[in-house]
């Protein structure tokens, strides 16, 4: 039994495994309680269907169900191991208290006791023992439900720091993990039953990794049929970083995470199993970092996937991989275009304010375009200052703060120079510029040229409706 303890569960994946069981037991409410003191414990409680005495005894056995056994459609289990291996990876005493048909029973695996007796002895708890267990009161008002109680948290508390600090900070990670892996159950969309989870009475909120209300669906969803079962693939392109609010960016993993977390998001029965990987079909590039692809597989295809006991890694079957490859190519292309489109817009047309010129030694230089209508008009209107003006423009071009721009960009800082502006602001800007024209006819002509230039071109309708106002400088 000791050997199964080192299977490499993290606290968050262990708790998620216990919650899988609660969901399979049709629970709608899951509560996690932890007490960080000398007698620290973690309890995971649900209002699911519960277990009878015999069912509980069976559930406590390793391999209580075989992987080849057919499971209910909504069952998140597979190996008949999770309850035991996940629990005992974190604690030395696992007690499961369950209520069904108003009857409460409890069983315990206690590793210290087993070691002492040198025998696998499953303890059956007496009624008054049960009544004294922490959190027992949760079951009192329920018709059925289950409490999984972990005590003697030796693994968790091994580092010797004060219990409160360790458990507290680990639980922050647990909360983040649960809000992501169960986000579709927490949202309640398109699952058999919406669930709520709370940790020490604070609700766990769903975290949608696709920001699906704001993202573009890169292409229609694709359905691959394998052995009569459907695998559904839904690609998303996240909004460009400059369009994300601070909290949105944070929920997507921060600017660092955006690149790391691109890739497939694979769900088994709507529960997220693996995410942020292209399964070695493509490298995680900067240009594809807005691409996230949802892949839904039913539990009936388990034997085709390589799914590990912790359900935290999965490798798709060959047939699915081939299909995913073509989708990857299309989607990466789209994500790339989101960047390139913005690049094009910046450079505008040949009358734009900036021009990008190729130099003789095959480099590029950015310069203020003396042929852009605004600059031309300005130079024509101030012939005496023409030479100085040209010198100033050339100086501006040669002093672009490229290094700090580059640093800001790779660190995903928001550069707001080109942000969209209000109609009125653009209109005023236009009036200021037109004020250098000598005649109303000049103004009209320049205004017409402006309409093809960014940012004015983006406010074309508004400007056209207000031409008279602009010309009269109102
Ligand atoms: N919260 C619960 N409510 C009701 N029944 C439960 C609960 N937790 C576990 N069980 C029962 O105990 C059995 C064993 O659970 P366990 O997690 O060890 O294996 P599994 O879920 O069948 O497979 P896996 O190893 O993939 O998790 C389950 O199949 C289920 O019948
Ligand atoms: Mg399980």
CB 197 within 8 A of CB 203: yes
Average pLDDT over residues 276-298: 85
pLDDT: which is higher, 56 or 38: 56
For ligand 1, atom 27, name the residue with the nearest CA. 82
Among 104, 91, 83, 85, which residue's Cα sits nearest to residue 35?
91
Is the confidence at residue 202, as pLDDT, over 90? yes
What is the whole-number distance in angstroms between the Cα of residue 372 and the centre of ligand 1? 71
pLDDT: which is higher, 2 or 57: 57
pLDDT at 56: 97
CB 127 within 8 A of CB 136: no
3-state helix, strand, coil in the chain (%, to 5): 40, 20, 40
| 356-398 residue pLDDT tens | 888 877 788 888 888 888 888 888 888 899 999 999 988 898 8
CB-CB neighbours of 126 under 10 Å: 10
Is the confidence at residue 350, as pLDDT, over 80? no
What's the rounded Cα separation, in Å, for the pair 292 and 279?
Answer: 13
pLDDT at 294: 93
Average pLDDT over residues 227-252: 87
What is the whole-number distance in angstroms between the Cα of residue 79 and the centre of ligand 1? 9
Lowest mean pLDDT among 66-75, 111-120, 147-156, 277-286: 66-75
Is the confidence at residue 267, as pLDDT, over 80? yes
pLDDT: which is higher, 199 or 66: 199
Average pLDDT over residues 203-222: 86
pLDDT at 276: 92
What's the rounded Cα separation, in Å, for the pair 266 and 353?
Answer: 46
Is the confidence at residue 9, as pLDDT, over 90? no
pLDDT at 174: 96
Per-chain mean pLDDT for the chain:
85
CB 220 within 8 A of CB 228: no
CB-CB neighbours of 111 under 10 Å: 17
Confidence of residue 270 (pLDDT cuts 50, 70, 90): very high
pLDDT at 346: 57
Is the confidence at residue 50, as pLDDT, over 90? yes
Is the confidence at residue 344, as pLDDT, over 60? no
What's the rounded Cα separation, in Å, for the pair 272 and 178?
Answer: 10
Average pLDDT over residues 447-459: 83
Is the confidence at residue 418, as pLDDT, over 80? no
Number of the ligand 1 atom closest to the C-alpha atom of 22: 1
pLDDT at 139: 95
For ligand 1, atom 28, name the residue with the nearest CA. 59
Is the confidence at residue 52, as pLDDT, over 90? yes
pLDDT at 412: 63
CB 147 within 8 A of CB 97: yes
Confidence of residue 5 (pLDDT cuts 50, 70, 90): low
pLDDT at 165: 75
Is the confidence at residue 345, as pLDDT, over 60? no
Lowest mean pLDDT among 16-25, 53-62, 115-124, 241-250: 241-250
Class at the top of the CATH hierarchy for domain 216-345: alpha beta
Residues 6+ apart with CB under 8 A from 147: 43, 44, 45, 95, 96, 97, 98, 133, 135, 136, 138, 139
Q: Please provide residue 325's backbone torsions phi and psi, each rounded to the nearest 5 degrees.
A: -60, -45
Tokens of 51: 């277990």
CB-CB neighbours of 375 under 10 Å: 17
Tokens 């390139």 belong to residue: 340
pLDDT at 64: 65
What is the whole-number distance in angstroms between the Cα of residue 23 and the centre of ligand 1? 10
Average pLDDT over residues 229-249: 87
Confidence of residue 193 (pLDDT cuts 50, 70, 90): very high
Percent of the chain with pLDDT over 70: 87
- CB-proximal residues (5 Å) to ion ligand 2: 20-21, 77, 82
Tokens of 34: 């932890």
> What DSSP designation does 242 have?
G
For ligand 1, atom 13, name the residue with the nearest CA. 59
pLDDT at 213: 84
Average pLDDT over residues 146-161: 84
pLDDT at 201: 95
Percent of the chain with pLDDT over 90: 35
Number of the ligand 1 atom closest to the C-alpha atom of 21: 8
Average pLDDT over residues 322-339: 74
Is the confidence at residue 68, as pLDDT, over 90? no
| 435-446 residue pLDDT tens | 888 888 888 888
What's the rounded Cα separation, in Å, for the pair 30 and 190?
Answer: 19
Which residues line ligand 1 at a C-beta cut-off of 6 Å?
Answer: 17, 21-22, 25, 46, 48-51, 59, 64-65, 77-84, 146
What's the rounded Cα separation, in Å, for the pair 53 and 98?
Answer: 8
Lowest mean pLDDT among 32-41, 53-62, 76-85, 177-186: 76-85
What is the whole-number distance in angstroms between the Cα of residue 20 and the centre of ligand 2? 6
Among 343, 354, 334, which residue's Cα sits nearest to residue 292?
334
Among 315, 311, 312, which residue's Cα sits nearest to residue 77?
311
Average pLDDT over residues 102-114: 94
Confidence of residue 180 (pLDDT cuts 50, 70, 90): very high
Test site for ligand 1: of 24, 74, 150, most ligand atoms within 8 A of the Cβ: 24
Chain mean position to CA 324: 20
Number of the ligand 1 atom closest to the C-alpha atom of 78: 26
For ligand 1, atom 29, name the residue with the nearest CA. 80
For ligand 1, atom 6, name the residue with the nearest CA. 21
Test site for ligand 1: of 18, 51, 77, 268, most ligand atoms within 8 A of the Cβ: 77
Q: Domain spanning 2-203 has what CATH number?
A: 3.30.565.10
Test site for ligand 1: of 83, 97, 145, 299, most ligand atoms within 8 A of the Cβ: 83
Number of the ligand 1 atom closest to the C-alpha atom of 80: 19
pLDDT at 104: 96
pLDDT at 34: 92
CB 146 within 8 A of CB 52: no
CB 182 within 8 A of CB 195: yes
Lowest mean pLDDT among 135-149, 236-250, 312-326: 312-326
CB 352 within 8 A of CB 369: yes
Residues 6+ apart with CB under 8 A from 218: 235, 236, 237, 291, 330, 331, 334, 335
């Amino acid at each position: 039994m000791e050997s199964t303890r080192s299977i490499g569960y993290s606290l968050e994946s262990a708790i998620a495994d216990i919650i899988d069981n609660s969901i399979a037991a049709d629970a709608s409410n899951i509560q996690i309680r932890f007490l960080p003191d000398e007698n620290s414990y973690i309890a995971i409680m649900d209002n699911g269907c519960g277990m009878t005495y015999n069912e509980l005894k069976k559930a406590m056995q390793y391999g209580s169900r075989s992987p080849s056994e057919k499971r209910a459609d909504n069952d998140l289990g597979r190996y008949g191991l999770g309850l035991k291996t996940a629990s005992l990876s974190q604690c030395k005493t696992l007690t499961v208290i369950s209520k069904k048909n108003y009857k409460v029973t409890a069983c315990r695996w206690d590793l210290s006791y087993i070691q002492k007796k040198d025998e696998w002895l499953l303890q059956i708890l007496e009624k008054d023992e049960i009544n004294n267990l922490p959190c027992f009161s949760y079951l009192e008002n329920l018709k059925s439900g289950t409490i999984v109680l972990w005590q003697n948290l030796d693994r968790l508390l091994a580092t010797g720091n004060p219990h409160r600090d360790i458990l507290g900070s680990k639980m922050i990670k647990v909360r983040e993990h649960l809000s992501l892996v169960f986000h579709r159950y927490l949202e309640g969309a398109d699952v058999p039953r919406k669930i709520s989870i709370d940790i020490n009475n604070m609700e766990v909120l769903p975290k949608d990794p696709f920001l699906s209300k704001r993202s573009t669906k890169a292409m229609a969803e694709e359905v691959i049929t394998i052995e009569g079962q459907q695998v559904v693939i839904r690609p998303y392109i996240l909004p460009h970083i400059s369009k994300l609010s601070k909290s949105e960016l944070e929920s997507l993993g921060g600017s660092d995470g955006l690149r790391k977390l691109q890739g497939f998001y694979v769900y088994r029965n709507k529960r997220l199993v693996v995410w942020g990987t292209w399964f070695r079909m493509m490298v995680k590039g900067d240009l594809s970092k807005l691409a996230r692809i949802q892949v839904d597989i039913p539990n009936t295809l388990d034997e085709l996937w390589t799914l590990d006991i912790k359900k935290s890694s999965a490798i798709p079957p060959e047939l699915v991989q081939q299909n995913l490859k073509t989708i990857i190519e299309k989607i990466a292309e789209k994500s790339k275009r989101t960047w390139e489109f913005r690049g094009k817009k910046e450079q505008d047309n040949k009358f734009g304010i900036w021009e990008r010129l190729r130099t003789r030694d095959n480099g590029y230089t950015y310069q203020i375009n003396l042929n852009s209508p605004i600059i031309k008009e300005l130079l024509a209107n101030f012939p005496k200052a023409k030479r100085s003006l040209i010198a100033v423009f050339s100086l501006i071009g040669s002093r672009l703060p490229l290094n700090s721009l580059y640093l800001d960009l790779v660190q995903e800082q928001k550069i707001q120079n080109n942000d969209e502006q209000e109609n009125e602001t653009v209109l005023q800007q236009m009036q200021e510029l037109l004020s250098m024209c000598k005649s109303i006819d000049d103004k009209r002509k320049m205004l017409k040229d402006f309409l093809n230039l960014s940012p004015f071109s983006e406010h074309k309708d508004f400007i056209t409706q207000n031409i008279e106002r602009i010309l009269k400088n109102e």
